[in-house]
A = this chain, B = another copy of it.
Amino acid sequence: MQELDMSKCSQCIVRKFSALKTLDKSELIYMSACKTGQTIKKGSYIFNEGDHLKGVYCIKSGVCKLVKLSSNGRNQIVRFIKRGDLLGQRSIVSDDAVSLSAIAVEDMQVCFIPKADILAVFKQNSNFSSEIINDICYDLKLANHQIVRMAHKTVRSRFATILLELQEEFGVDKDKNLSLKLSREEYANLIGTATESMIRMFANFSKEGLIELKGKNVGILEKERLKQIAEE
């Protein structure tokens, strides 16, 4: 990670997407003074399972995955964090070690805000704290939903769900391919299956005309049909 300035929070549009939108001018000036900018290369760790976070990251650009290692050596992508999101929110309210690793999926620009500083704002600004708590509640809701999906849906159905979610969350590029480029292995870790099984699913969906494959690029062709499969 390389240290940078990245200038003033008050002029940073990205803050508008997170709980930071509740901060007033003086709070933003305070944040600007506390934060440090960093660039993070694709593939590198922002933090690791078991680390004690010393603050929160505000994502200016790029995407990272939150990953958890299973005792049998497999790993699971629990969710993605992208531009505008805060990474490590729970560390504001909890001193526990993080239970997930954060790994950049694309090159990233982030700002780091030390825990003490963001905690001061958390205690002082109840709109801010409400937003943070709401975010955590929402994460819990999603996580519960994901438990059910993993427990009761086939790989095929989960794949359909993930494709729709990736389109929803990250959109498509100019060629109408999913903007977020993931390897087959990453898809497998997201869906919770073996890489080979994942590759076969890609081949199946492609043969069935549900998606179009051009190398790493994935284009969704039959959204409605995918929705059906996701429900099965």
- A residues engaging B (CB < 8 A)? 68-72, 74, 76, 78, 90, 93-94, 96, 99-100, 123, 126, 130, 133-134, 136-137, 139-141, 143-153, 157, 191-192, 230-232
Q: How many of these chains are in the complex?
A: 2
Residues on B with C-beta less than 8 A from A151 are: 70, 74, 76, 150, 191-192
- On whether the beta carbons of B90 and A140 are closer than 8 Å, the reply is yes
Residues on B with C-beta less than 8 A from A153 are: 70, 72
With the chains together, A94 CA to B99 CA distance in Å? 24
Q: How far is the CB of A231 from chain B (nearest CB, A)?
A: 5
With the chains together, A153 CA to B193 CA distance in Å? 11
At the interface, is chain A mostly helix, strand, loop or mixed?
helix
- On whether the beta carbons of B147 and A76 are closer than 8 Å, the reply is yes
With the chains together, A72 CA to B69 CA distance in Å? 28
Please judge, given known A-B contacts A133-B93, A133-B136, whether A78 and B141 are in contact too, CB under 8 Å: no
CB contact between A143 and one of B94, B126, B147, B191 (< 8 Å): that residue: B147
- On whether the beta carbons of B70 and A141 are closer than 8 Å, the reply is no
CB contact between A148 and one of B70, B152, B231 (< 8 Å): that residue: B70
With the chains together, A149 CA to B146 CA distance in Å? 12
Q: How far is the CB of A138 from chain B (nearest CB, A)?
A: 8
CB contact between A68 and one of B100, B126, B148, B230 (< 8 Å): that residue: B148
With the chains together, A157 CA to B231 CA distance in Å? 27
Residues on B with C-beta less than 8 A from A157 are: 72
